[in-house]
Amino acid sequence: MNEADHVWNLVTKKLADEASGDELSELNTLMQANPDLNDTLKQVFELWDNGKQQKVENESRSLYKKIQKQVKAASRDVVKK
pLDDT given for residue 39 in this prediction? 94
What distances in angstroms separate CA 77 from CA 16, 36, 63, 74, one per listed residue?
Answer: 45, 62, 21, 5
Q: Where are the alpha helices (DSSP H) in the chain?
A: 3-15, 21-33, 35-80
Cα radius of gyration rounded to whole Å, the chain: 22
Pairwise CA distance, residues 8 & 23, whole Å: 12
For every residue of 33-54, DSSP letters joined together read H-HHHHHHHHHHHHHHHHHHHH
Q: Kindly list the domain boundaries of the chain, sorted by start residue.
A: 3-80
Per-residue pLDDT of 42-73, as tens digits, reads 999 998 887 667 776 777 888 878 888 888 77
- Mean pLDDT, residues 12-36: 95
